[in-house]
Amino acid sequence: MIDLADVHVRLGQRDVLRGITATLAERRIGVAGANGSGKSTLARLFNGLALPSSGTVTVLGEDTRRHAARIRRRVGFLFTDPDAQIVMPTVAEDVAFSLRRHKLPAAEVTRRVSAVLARYGLDGHADHPAHQLSGGQKQLLALCSVLVLEPEILIMDEPTTLLDLRHSRLVAEVLRELPMQVIVVTHDLPLLDGFDRVLVLDEGRIVADATPESALGHYRKLMA
């Protein structure tokens, strides 16, 4: 559950978000909009990576201005560029690194890492150098490293940009199955089929907030 109350974000000389008020409680929420409309900035507000210049962002009952570190442990964030997220030499080590703060027995870490890699088809790559994976496989690895932490909310910024059709479909299927609240920023509109709610941003404001059909219809008109 995320609540935004009259949120403005000013970066440099630019008003990037302008008066955003919304309560995000649905399980599957999409965010669409033109390049530069403020989507990534909005996503970064959801886990305290960005802070409002004015107004309040409340995530799982906590103000991001005061509890950003705690919120980041409960809210997973998947960046567009998986290279920004891969930190360890091998695939399995990278996923295990996510669990370092959990102080789990080594056998339990191994079990969880193997399970998540198998789920996303990376079990055959466990001992391979992470940076030698293809772009799509890196994206899946980054997803594994976030999901192994079982976050309460998952934020994804363009998770299918680098993926082929098969892997995009896998991500779409994963999104349908994940038990936690998921908020997805995307230009891949079919990914939002079946979502509970879609927000459309334009020049830092929410200009549509409705079902996927209705919101994306508005977005297509806006782009025409």
Ligand X SMILES: Nc1ncnc2c1ncn2[C@@H]1O[C@H](COP(=O)(O)OP(=O)(O)OP(=O)(O)O)[C@@H](O)[C@H]1O
Taking CB within 5 to 8 Å according to partner kind, which of ligand X, Mg ion, none is near residue 1? none
Give, as ranges, the residues between 126 and 145 that touch Mg ion (CB under 5 A).
Answer: none
State how far the Cα of 176 lies from the Cα of 79, in Å rounded to an integer. Answer: 19
Query: Does position 190 bind ligand X by CB under 6 A?
Result: no
Query: Does position 87 bind ligand X by CB under 6 A?
Result: no
Taking CB within 5 to 8 Å according to partner kind, which of Mg ion, ligand X, none is near residue 37? ligand X
In a 13 Å sphere around the CA of 126, the CA atoms on its Cβ side amount to 14
Strand partners, 60: none
Query: Does position 41 bind ligand X by CB under 6 A?
Result: yes
Give, as ranges, the residues between 22 and 41 that touch Mg ion (CB under 5 A).
Answer: 40
Taking CB within 5 to 8 Å according to partner kind, which of ligand X, Mg ion, none is near residue 16? ligand X
Query: Does position 33 bind ligand X by CB under 6 A?
Result: yes
Query: Does position 39 bind ligand X by CB under 6 A?
Result: yes
For residue 67, with 0-12 CB atoms within 10 Å meaning exposed, 13-18 middle and 19 or more buried, which class applies?
middle
Helices 165-177 & 135-147 angle (0-180, nearest 10) = 10
Complex with ligand X: residue 80 or 168, whichever CB lies closer:
80
Query: Does position 129 bind ligand X by CB under 6 A?
Result: no
Q: Tell me, what amino acid is at 117?
A: L
State how far the Cα of 216 lies from the Cα of 199, in Å rounded to an integer. Answer: 9
DSSP string, 10-28: EETTEEEEEEEEEEE-SSE
Residues that bind Mg ion (CB under 5 A): 40
Applying CB under 6 A, which residues contact ligand X? Answer: 11-12, 14, 16, 33, 35-41
